[in-house]
Structure 1
Amino acid sequence: MPGYGYVSEEQRGVVLLSDDAVIPQVINDRLVTAFASVTITNANVTGQEILPIHTADSQGPRGDESGWIQVVSARATCSEGIQIKIVLPVHFSIKLAPGQTYPVPLNLSIEGDNAPKSMRIHLDLADLGNTKRWTVSTGEYELERREWGSAYKITFLDYDHSVHYAMAFPPEGNCEQWPEKRCPVVLALHGAGVEASSSYWTESYRRQKNAWVLFPTGRTPWGYDWHGPSFWNIESALDALRLRPGVPDDLVNSVGVNRERLIYAGHSNGGQGAWWLLSHYPDRALAGLPAAGYVKIQFYIPYFMRIGDAYADPLLRGILESAISEHDIDLYASNMAGIPILARTGGSDDNVPPVHSRRLIRMVNEWSRKTTAANLSEIPNQGHWFAGVVDDDVMQSFVDTSLQNASTQGLSLPALPSAFSLSTLNPASSGSKGGIRILQLQVPFRLGTIRVHRQNDQWILNTTNVRRFGFVADDRQEGLQRWSVDGTNFDKPPVVSGKSYLKGEDGIWKVADDMLWISEERHFSTYGPAIHIFDQPFIIVIPSTITERTITYRKMAQHLATSWYLFGRGGTQIVRDVDVLDGIAAQYNMLVLGGPEDNMFTKKRQPGLESMVKFLPGGGFQIDKRVYVDQGTGILFLAPSPTRTRMGLFIAGTDADGLLRAAWTVPFRTGLQVPDYIVLGEEYGDPSTGWTAGDGAPFGGAGTKGAGGVLAAGYWSNHWDFDARCGYLK
């Protein structure tokens, strides 16, 4: 790069986290997949850095970026002298703030069947505050050899541009019996703390004759309970598997992948994940094999013990709990009717007691109106894990039967019951049932249902709290000629592409002929709650103006970037407010730090935010008619991007303590109850640590109060404004 000096053999404060590399494997001397990743930390932290001013796409050095580094390029070497080419597979400059950790994505290429035994990776780095350039090098990474027929690793670029992997177990036979020679996939979801590549996990499932077995990571061994980022990781893994990486040339046309015909399986947290997929995305399920899965996090971890609930209005508690209730499997049990399910549990399991599996089986059978629709295999005197828990002869026989039933219909989905119900709390995290998908609720985060009665060539639909829905292609709609919804009759088959059905103010349903509503109203990509900000690639937007709160914003940005790496093994970029143009806002979700007095992007967006939050002179804010100006008050809230295709999560406060309270509340982990918006008072938690404990306020008497310190919380309407039906103002 012109203008840069060069410093060799010098780390310059950069730490390589060698144990966190993702390295592809080799089959027949050929890389299975091209993607790799090495993780680095910019340890240039003195505690006094001025928050940098830079643009995400700038290429040259800037004197006001002290301590920041940029990944300029990457190279690889090996002892055999084989040429390995590496490119950075992203369309932006990878820059790390002081203190930031980033998993650097790499795209490898080696000509021919000539993969080396090992390699070193060299990252060329630049100091953005001066003209220095230098290189850091890894140790030797082995390129592990695998034989075709064993479980092997596929690496891929996930939705946030970070590299992840999944393990794939190819079919023993081929896929020629299936349409288009594409095999179904058994999704095997691991439990909490389990590494997907561990042999004890991949060897727990048998190789299937005519199906792939896929072992995704969910992004980390702990993941997101297979929701949110973990779910999108599954989707990316399926996309990668569909390319048939690692398949020998003579087999590549006979072992295709059908990513829409799945058997959901897993153990413990993964068993819960299998239940979650069955209940949220039923129209992809051939069958379900959840083992030792729990009903929902509130049953697995006793939420009723939280002291903050003792100080909170019951209405507020309900709104907060609804932020995680979209993952309540029992609430979604209606969606599983008609799907073959065999749940497995140990009769003496003291980790996830059998009552979890019993409860869900009972509820599925209730909705199916058949006592044997779903079945439970409970093994006496066995605990949480035992030999064969996920794959003994009973479980394998169920898989064989499910695939045999599917083969008689050419991989068609299980038959629909004569009557079924589709339920959701959030269209952002649920799919279709019977080819029907709820697109909007009348009142967000209140339960929406569509009950369907099938009578010959007619379907009769009745709805509760549904504003808009649509149809997707489904072979089981064959023969459907007439249908009605809430008494409105349609005497022709439903439209399955590009259109939806909208309930008018008069209660009459009509066809919505186009997709323009997505540019005006909330939809599946812009529904909350706050944790859904991480379902798309995101950036952190910081103020460019230097103020007394600059150091606070720097610490917030470092904390948020590090949290995404820690909990999701993801990478994000920190950019300044004046560099966020509409093109960037259309591509990324954003964490926006600061109100309009500090952050120019917030100031630019201020007119479009006032239907939700009004920022007041002096640092306060207002929701509806309620004003919040007290010291130590923080707010975070979702708002649409200028193009309304993405979202921003705005984080602000009346002072530095309020800012920190809001920053600590960003929900980087599952189970955190943060709706579309939340206002936090000084009794909520310690701004310096985020802990909800303390010595007590003069008139409070019990220290910081968690939920009892929440001043407002709720969900915006479909038109992005305050809605008293799903909001709480203390």
Structure 2
Amino acid sequence: MATKHNSKTSLLVNFSNTWDILGPFQIGTREASWGADPLEFLGGFRALQSFPGAAYKSPLAPNGLVSWSSQQLETQTCNSTAAEAVLTVGFPQVDWRFLQSVYGWTALQFQAWARGYLEISADLPQTITFCTDNVLEFWADDKQYFGGDFYAYRRAPPVLHLAAGKHKVDVRLIRDVRVIGGIGEPKISIKLKAEVSKGLLAVVEPKLLISDIVDGTLASPFASVPVRNEGAGWVDIVEIESLTERCTAGMREKAPLRLAPGQSRPLPFSLSVQSPVTKSICLKVTYTASEASESLLSIVICHNLIVRTVHSPHKYTYLHPSGIVSYAILRAPSDKVVCEVTRSKLPILLNLHGAGLEADSEQVRHMLDAVPDLHAWVLFPTGVTPWSSDDWHTWGFADVEAAVAGIPAWIKNVGWNWPSVDVDKWLVSGHSNGGQGTWYALTHRPDKIVGAVPVSGYSSIQGYVPYQMWTEADPRVTLAVQNSLRSFRHELLISNFNGISVLQQHGSADDNVPAFHSRRMNQLMSLSNDVPHPVYVELNDRSHWFDGVMSTAHLCEFYSKILSNGAELPQLPGRFSIVITNPADMASRGGLVVDQLITPDQLGKVEVVRDTAMEAWILSTFNVLRFHLSSTLTSTSVPQKLIVDKWALNLPLGHRKFECWLVRSEEGSWHISNDRTWMTQQRYGAQLGPLDSILRTSGRFLIQSSKETLDTALQVSRNLFQYFAADSEIIDLDATLAFHQGNIISVGLGCELPPSASWFHSVDLLADRGLVMRKCNGQERIFQFEEGLGAIFLRPLPLGRVELVIWGYDCCGLRLAARLLPMLTGVGQPDFSIVSRRCAWEGAAGVHAMGSFDNSWGVLETSFVS
């Protein structure tokens, strides 16, 4: 491999051409976040030296042994200030075909390690930004960096301060079928880029987010640009202003916006452009830096505005619930539709993109060009990132709903005077991961859906790539991990959308998402009651993607059929049921909303019979503690009486009838309650569910840390920004907290935990004894302080918010706990986990305890305790 570079310039940075490789080793689907590296039993790859005679146990290799090998970089490109290298690694000695014949795609996943060097050819130390495409974990000079950039976003690269000379780089290679695919020879290819910093503050101009100009008007005032502190001290951004005439800009947050050393954050701002519209704008970002002598520094960035017509797909921005600026692509109803329709409002056709696609790409924005005259607003949400952040689930689906809610503001901004939008009527479609997202919408938001079109979509995370290659564990551990993913097991939730029309489409030759997924979901719908003839179209010899995949004749006919009749919500069946995995994820079905389950780690279910003669609904419940009827119910659909598990209840009359709950007593009877104090005493709303409930934040994250834990806090912030584009502010652990709307992440080390806002501590420290875990029956289990002891768990905050605590007795325990911050889908993080040093090589099998909290934040009896 020849390194390409400009021979007339001296190279400040470059990678070694030869890398030492050790592997492959077994790894399960998304297991790496738990650790599960067998070399950690030997002290970790960083402690091993390459020599020809060394051999290590691996069930993947012939004779059960692997040894060291070397691999040349596939390519390396260098200039005076940057080096970019591609390393591709495979293991042809492994009989992958046979393993796949037994274990399927899960057998094509493996892990390995690669060691190379980054050389700094300079007289002085250099500050380097280090991009690690398709890498989850690496060590630089024996310092760990977990999170990496698995999806190659390049949004938040770590900032390294390196002296002159050679620096060891150990990269953990993880082949993940969900990212790389399951076709072809099992290899993994990573890309590394080291670039010398240009200054204290970096403004990532290519990722500047601004709405399009629509018929002479800026579609939305919300704008954002990523910024990164590449210095060794703190940076405060104090102002952003426009340098262009007829254009104004200003920070949306109260100044200053603070960045810790190495931290990346989005800088949100408001933008106004006056007519006549300029084609480009220049913005000045003003900041101060603790290590700079000048009081004020600034950076100027320029951006060309994109001009679109109102009826063409165009970009508009809005605020995600977390406070960040996001965007979607919107196509307003055509002139023909405006002339044809007499309705005052039109529904929305949602189209959810597949994994790795940007909503602003030509492929996505023109996906429905073949049907230009649909009687609907056509909306292409982004889900915040090209991978929809979390498969169109908690964070990504919140973005869908924010995009929908942003259309009325668009109507006002651009002066649209034709049919408005009905934000509560959706025709949902999606391809691949978007097809899976369509199943999520059907099962979790059924009352808003007039029809659905899942195309080439997988049925669930667990159904796509099996989990059988995980390190063997106590079945209770496996249950806890899988139980934390139950809200995304759509196969269990088919009955939630009975009565809604669904058209499925899948190519018979799909080698990315096998047609089995759609066939299975179609069968399950057929076995469920009241599904109106589920239609499944299998396209002979068609692959996963082809031009026109979302506008075939069958799909176009379905779109027109659903939308041309007024897109009325389907009539509620006389019998319907709702399966509840997590009340926080589930909206209403038939106007019925479950607020709490009796046992939160089990499914809940309500079966309803609508008796029109008695003007009553007859309900049979399982594992349901509290529910209410939504205020969106129309007067014609409101039952006069409920019979719940044979308990007859007359609903109160008047406009306040829905401001009450139906509550089950310990004896099994049901009663109506207007008491709201339970919300201050029990777990509810956004607090419910496993660790990913931290993602239901209303406002930016606040990360509390000490000087000793600042590196971990920075890792947490970097990973939130990398994978969710989320904003987080890092503050001192001892700082006085003013009112904060968002969720909090607290990072602790040693013999103290950050103080809790709750009076009840399910997980706590006894300084002279160890980490204590309290069950809901009052029993305590104490885990003595030891090397590698750590914990990650939820705690309640006022106003329905939640705190995520990441704690370690030592740095090892803190690193193991911090790995479990929700980041990638499918990892399976329960409400709490107490980790041990064994997790480094055993993964989830090495935990001391894990499980769920009850409605009073006590540890459930069903939780695993070693």
User: TM-score normalised by the shorter chain: which range applies?
Assistant: 0.7 to 0.9
Which residue is equivalent to 2:242? Answer: 76
The residue identity in structure 2 corresponding to 1:317 is T
Residue 682, structure 1, aligned to residue 837, structure 2: yes
Which residue is equivalent to 1:29? Answer: 216
- TM superposition shift of 1:440: 0.3
Which residue is equivalent to 1:327? Answer: 488
Which residue is equivalent to 2:309? Answer: 147
Q: Does the Cα contact within 8 Å between 1:122 and 1:135 map onto a contact in 2? A: no
Deviations 1:331-364 (A, max 9, x none): 1111011000001111111111111111112212
Which residue is equivalent to 1:421? Answer: 577
The separation in 1 between residues aligned to 2:703 and 2:310, in whole angstroms, is 46
Deviations 1:470-506 (A, max 9, x none): 1113238626333211011124478752211110011
Specify whether residues 596 and 235 from structure 1 end up closer, same or farther in structure 2 by C-alpha distance, changes over 3 A only. farther
The separation in 2 between residues aligned to 1:648 and 1:175, in whole angstroms, is 48
The separation in 1 between residues aligned to 2:693 and 2:328, in whole angstroms, is 23
The residue identity in structure 1 corresponding to 2:320 is D
Deviations 1:513-553 (A, max 9, x none): 13322221111211121111012034344345xxxxx34x1
Q: Which of 527, 546, 554 is the equivalent residue of 2:688?
A: 527
Residue 101, structure 1, aligned to residue 251, structure 2: no
- TM superposition shift of 1:654: 1.7
- TM superposition shift of 1:669: 1.8
Residue 119, structure 1, aligned to residue 281, structure 2: yes
Specify whether residues 622 and 375 from structure 1 end up closer, same or farther in structure 2 by C-alpha distance, changes over 3 A only. same
Specify whether residues 318 and 14 from structure 1 end up closer, same or farther in structure 2 by C-alpha distance, changes over 3 A only. same
Residue 620, structure 1, aligned to residue 778, structure 2: no
TM-score (norm 2): 0.73
Matches within 5 A, 1:353-364: 353-364=514-525
The residue identity in structure 2 corresponding to 1:355 is F
The residue identity in structure 2 corresponding to 1:109 is S
Q: Which runs of 5 or more residues in structure 2 are unaligned?
A: 1-196, 775-779
Q: Does the Cα contact within 8 Å between 2:830 and 2:850 map onto a contact in 1? A: yes
Specify whether residues 278 and 11 from structure 1 end up closer, same or farther in structure 2 by C-alpha distance, changes over 3 A only. same
Specify whether residues 671 and 479 from structure 1 end up closer, same or farther in structure 2 by C-alpha distance, changes over 3 A only. closer
- TM superposition shift of 1:618: 4.7
- TM superposition shift of 1:365: 2.4
Structure holding more strand per residue: 2
- TM superposition shift of 1:70: 1.0
Which residue is equivalent to 2:422? Answer: 258
- TM superposition shift of 1:148: 2.1
Deviations 1:236-292 (A, max 9, x none): 11121122348753xx23231111100111100001001110111100000001111
Specify whether residues 432 and 439 from structure 1 end up closer, same or farther in structure 2 by C-alpha distance, changes over 3 A only. same
Look up the SS of the partner of 1:330 in the other structure.
helix
Deviations 1:282-326 (A, max 9, x none): 0000000111111111121221122x2x1x111121111111111
- TM superposition shift of 1:138: 4.4
The residue identity in structure 1 corresponding to 2:260 is A
Which residue is equivalent to 1:60? Answer: none
The separation in 2 between residues aligned to 1:490 and 1:604, in whole angstroms, is 40
Residue 242, structure 1, aligned to residue 378, structure 2: no
Specify whether residues 197 and 619 from structure 1 end up closer, same or farther in structure 2 by C-alpha distance, changes over 3 A only. farther
- TM superposition shift of 1:448: 0.2
Which residue is equivalent to 1:719? Answer: 856
Which residue is equivalent to 2:864? Answer: 728
Deviations 1:208-260 (A, max 9, x none): 432001111101001210011111111211121122348753xx232311111
Q: Which of 535, 554, 579 is the equivalent residue of 1:375?
A: 535
The residue identity in structure 1 corresponding to 2:623 is N
Residue 398, structure 1, aligned to residue 558, structure 2: yes
Residue 211, structure 1, aligned to residue 348, structure 2: no
Q: Which of 712, 728, 735 is the equivalent residue of 1:579?
A: 735
The separation in 2 between residues aligned to 1:511 and 1:683, in whole angstroms, is 50
The residue identity in structure 2 corresponding to 1:168 is L
Matches within 5 A, 1:257-276: 257-276=421-440
The residue identity in structure 2 corresponding to 1:279 is T
Which residue is equivalent to 1:224? Answer: 390
Matches within 5 A, 1:311-350: 312-350=473-511
Aligned residues: 654
Q: Does the Cα contact within 8 Å between 2:224 and 2:266 map onto a contact in 1? A: yes
Which residue is equivalent to 1:565? Answer: 721
The separation in 2 between residues aligned to 1:369 and 1:152, in whole angstroms, is 39
Deviations 1:5-48 (A, max 9, x none): xxxxx964222222211122112322111122111111114xxx
- TM superposition shift of 1:103: 1.6
The residue identity in structure 2 corresponding to 1:591 is I
C-alpha RMSD of the superposition: 2.2
- TM superposition shift of 1:139: 4.2
Matches within 5 A, 1:159-174: 159-172=321-334, 173=336
Deviations 1:344-395 (A, max 9, x none): 111111111111111112212222255x522111111101012322112211
TM-score (norm 1): 0.86
Specify whether residues 439 and 524 from structure 1 end up closer, same or farther in structure 2 by C-alpha distance, changes over 3 A only. same
Look up the SS of the partner of 1:507 in the other structure.
coil
Look up the SS of the partner of 2:491 in the other structure.
coil
Shift >6 Å, 4+ stretches: 175-180
The separation in 2 between residues aligned to 1:137 and 1:255, in whole angstroms, is 44
Q: Which of 608, 611, 616 is the equivalent residue of 2:759?
A: 608
The separation in 2 between residues aligned to 1:660 and 1:300, in whole angstroms, is 29
Q: Which runs of 5 or more residues in structure 1 are unaligned?
A: 1-9, 46-66, 545-549, 686-703
Look up the SS of the partner of 1:304 in the other structure.
coil
Q: Does the Cα contact within 8 Å between 1:24 and 1:35 map onto a contact in 2? A: yes
Q: Does the Cα contact within 8 Å between 1:450 and 1:464 map onto a contact in 2? A: yes
The separation in 2 between residues aligned to 1:496 and 1:364, in whole angstroms, is 35
The separation in 2 between residues aligned to 1:27 and 1:196, in whole angstroms, is 18
Q: Does the Cα contact within 8 Å between 2:200 and 2:289 map onto a contact in 1? A: no
The residue identity in structure 1 corresponding to 2:864 is Y
